[in-house]
A and B are shown apart, each in its own frame.
Chain A
Amino acid sequence: GAGVSQSPRYKVAKRGQDVALRCDPISGHVSLFWYQQALGQGPEFLTYFQNEAQLDKSGLPSDRFFAERPEGSVSTLKIQRTQQEDSAVYLCASSLARIQPQHFGDGTRLSIL
């Protein structure tokens, strides 16, 4: 499709497991963002990529969170040793450039039991 694609849509994991969330941005979009949206809250910034370079990871809540975009297109957000507080919707967005409006994917709803 033409939009931002995220997979899986839903992920349930036991506390302590590692999870990997995938984002396929719109083709040609240089900028890619990850957000965390807790229940009843607005999206909170996690990290930003320009092509393959991770230029800002100031929003990552702990060193258990790791993101990569090795070829400047698909990105993966990995969470190690998951905790219950990691339960949230993880949104990916892409844009032609950082200043341009972002196109959001449907998100991955992560539930940690």
Chain B
Amino acid sequence: AQSVSQHNHHVILSEAASLELGCNYSYGGTVNLFWYVQYPGQHLQLLLKYFSGDPLVKGIKGFEAEFIKSKFSFNLRKPSVQWSDTAEYFCAVKDGQNFVFGPGTRLSVLP
């Protein structure tokens, strides 16, 4: 069965630092890949998605992610984080019928 791992449980950065959150999935083949964000007290929101084509995907709020098929990875990046990026970030993989979510990475950005 598909599984999704996220490398860091909690990341703490200062404003303007660069961000990279790791995401790996276990099963190859055709997959759709997503990053969701959950701001404190809010519902999950889609940041970006990859279905096919250019493996470098641009999302909202300056986020991007790169799909590397050979590494089964879909890491999330942002060149310069802001305090408002403080949230929980979930990687998700759609493999066949269902979504499988990673455990999430909490990002704390210090002002």
Query: Which residues in A have some Cβ–Cβ distance to B below 8 Å?
Result: 3-4, 33, 35, 40-45, 48, 56, 58-59, 91, 93, 98-99, 101-107
Contact = CB atoms under 8 A, between A and B. Distances in A.
A5 to B, nearest CB: 10
Interface stretch (B14-22, B60-68, B71-79, B99-107): B99-107
Interface string B46-62: 10010000000000000
Contacts of B90: 42-43
A40 B45 contact: no
Interface residues of B, number: 21
A91 B99 contact: no
A106 B39 CA distance: 11
Contacts of B46: 101-103
Interface of B: 4, 32, 34, 36, 42-46, 49, 90, 92, 94, 97-104
Given A99-B32, A99-B94, A101-B49, A45 B43 contact: no
Given A104-B43, A105-B43, A42 B103 contact: yes
A106 B42 CA distance: 6
Contacts of A107: 43
Contacts of A43: 44, 90, 99, 101
Given A48-B98, A56-B97, A56-B98, A106 B103 contact: no
B101 A42 contact: yes
Which of B45, B92, B99 is the most central at the interface, judged by chain A CB atoms within 10 Å of its CB? B99
A105 to B, nearest CB: 6
Contacts of B92: 42
A43 B34 CA distance: 13
